[in-house]
A and B are shown apart, each in its own frame.
Chain A
């Protein structure tokens, strides 16, 4: 199996994602966005960065590229897709996941360690954790505030598609623990299928033991639990 880590011109977590997946024994390679989705891809990771410079709106242009159309089709057939940070913004712009990630409450870029609570442990991405488990993960974004209209949001909650919520170290979901003003502290959501997920925190930065925490490992191992090929 080979996970395709899609590299746009301004992606900057593509190498890190390959390094983290490889560390877990998950075969991964970078794929230049203009080269198209490889036929043998067993999964897609949309990494962090600034896809097209993101001068317009984070992920807006990348979300409308031909490779995202291919990824959308493949995802509908069950190909696992994980969008992280800019990849999450792209996922929303491309319609893989509902809602949008927009400018932080602080209006500034924030790079720090935060905690998230696993809201739904019954997905490939979170099966390694118990529901309610607290993970320490890094964030690094200027546009990470999750927003969705009431209908969309209510549907997400009803369908148990909220994957992660920002919380404090004890697992309490509080406003003080919400780093960017996301609606109800949402840090990650599922698409219409549980094989598609996006999140603002960086699991690939919390995987290599020589950098400290490894709480993100289980999220990346989601690629091992989803075996579909296109």
Chain B
């Protein structure tokens, strides 16, 4: 891939000359789809990113929101999400590991200390050997990197769908803690300040990663593109986390940007462009890992674990001392100016110092023309439901890798380091103790591609509602979201139409719920010989509650079971149809979603509430099965198969000692009696005139499909 002819002409017209090879490569990478969002930015204005508690919205390394202060001081949360899809296909272990590293550094760039990660992973069919190879490699890469840097992985999602066979997705979100005094942005402040590069030495790894991420994966990508994948070093990342904290402690940083796509060229030019300034950078001043690197290689290498800081001249020595204390390389590579973004280079050749880049920083950062691509509107599937045996359908849905236990995954992640994890993975949402503010921070992340595959717009709305309901099930109020929008090749009108629909669906539901979408990431060209991926809107949403206590998922056996929330009267996108065949329209979502979410949070916090569990993937069948343990069971009645497998989000099953209190708290939201919790460790379901019984052991075996196949 090289700079396209129209882009070349545009650059030449702006510069009044042909770009140098280094400039052409810089424009090629920074104007790529991956960096410049040329096909997606025209759609992203649909999102509402404003609210009183939004401190830093989209456009910086990560977003920052303030938390309500229940008890303590004002505390900010930095949050971001990133995809590392193509690298994870080519090299699952390193691709996923460096995805974690990258999003953690985005959090560091805001002056924040990272406190939690979530991973949303999407692979081809679980029965395929290749999917399992990718799955195992990705999980191990995330575990080895995340565990070593001491940031707990507290949640996420795993989905298997044929649509990801040629193109898996790895979407990593991170949250961090920061205060007003410690907050740093990526906006360069003043000419004369120095630019300091701290961290790993620069090598030839990851060259051209941004442009690699902006085209379809070719059939031989696994061998051909390996040099474009970076290799991570979590020990250095951990040192960088601690050094960054020490630098912020001493107020030595004026602006910061981590080095990600397009390496030093990307980070340094974006940093000065955001401040409306320029820079003069001596590329040969960069500390290097390999001999004889060219200017272009130093400029664009995506070597990991590096940060670019703007530092006052008088603070440079102290920054170098702190870097040295943490055994990190440190080089003063240039300074902020009022002119162009200029890079010079001198090597051993007799030609002397050369100017290899001299371009207006803002043109480089924001000058890429946007694409106006044709799209075709998606249509809803028609109704053609199977006539399936209840017993077989129950087993198939509960034992589907999509709804089954993910313990095999999260047991490999250290989810407790940091001693904040009050609600652990396996629950509807993780809850972190933010003792600084007396707040419980609930986190939910994921998407259900079967929903957006069936109905991109309604499915994306449902994904947003589902993440909000996960938070509410643990008594938290949705507070802010970041999204990772994954799509196929936007040059195909039907693919682009589906992508546009998930953007609108997500935006509409988040606006409806008053959840500002404060940042995100777009990954297009997730397309291969196997076809495009389903449009996949991963949402990472945070919620807040007073205190950290929340009802558990499992029933105690002491209470009555109620279903709070509205059913949608259809099975489109459901695991039931995925397993048993057929099609249907997508369920109708509740007309007043904010009221439903508020109700769920209120019900979760009632003194009489013993257990709560969100209803979504797999419907009531899966929800109720998951509430059963060896000590306590469930005896429930539903009218028919549709009621059992309906996946409409915005619903919670509650075990309560006071059904009237739940009905009163629910107001206008529907409350249905399901039955009773029992002490026999058995799930007993009456569905119409059919009865189904499963003991806790049998349910556990069904749900252990991933563990059974991979351990």
Contact = CB atoms under 8 A, between A and B. Distances in A.
Interface of A: 9-13, 15-16, 19-20, 32, 34, 48-50, 52-55, 106, 108-112, 138, 140, 142, 202, 204-205, 208, 210-212
A52 B235 CA distance: 7
Contacts, number: 90
B149 interface: yes
B326 A10 contact: no
Interface residues of B, number: 35
Given A9-B238, A10-B148, A108 B412 contact: yes
A50 B148 contact: yes
B589 interface: no
B238 A211 contact: no
A211 B421 contact: yes
Contact of A111 (B410, B418, B711): B410
Contacts of B416: 111, 138, 140, 202, 205, 211
A49 to B, nearest CB: 6
Nearest to A19: B419
A13 B150 contact: yes
Interface of B: 140, 143-144, 147-150, 233-236, 238-239, 242, 325-327, 410-422, 433, 435, 548-549, 711
B419 A49 contact: no
B235 A212 contact: no
A16 B414 contact: no
B414 A9 contact: no
A109 B150 contact: no
A111 B412 contact: yes
5 contacts: A9-B235, A12-B148, A13-B150, A106-B711, A108-B143
B239 A9 contact: yes
A110 B411 contact: yes
A139 B102 CA distance: 27
A209 B638 CA distance: 39
A9 B140 CA distance: 22
A210 B550 CA distance: 11
Given A140-B147, A140-B414, A204 B238 contact: no
Nearest to B150: A12
A212 B422 contact: yes
Closest 4 CB pairs of A and B: A12-B150, A53-B235, A16-B419, A50-B148
Contact of B419 (A55, A112, A208): A208
A16 B417 contact: yes
Given A55-B235, A108-B143, 19 more contacts: A9-B239, A10-B238, A11-B150, A12-B150, A49-B148, A49-B150, A50-B234, A50-B235, A53-B233, A53-B235, A109-B147, A109-B413, A111-B410, A111-B411, A111-B414, A140-B414, A142-B147, A210-B422, A211-B419
A9 B305 CA distance: 15
Contacts of A9: 235, 238-239, 242, 326-327
Contacts of B414: 109, 111, 140
A209 to B, nearest CB: 10
B329 to A, nearest CB: 14
Contact of A210 (B144, B242, B411, B548): B548
B412 A109 contact: yes
A211 B422 contact: yes
Nearest to B425: A111
Contacts of B711: 106
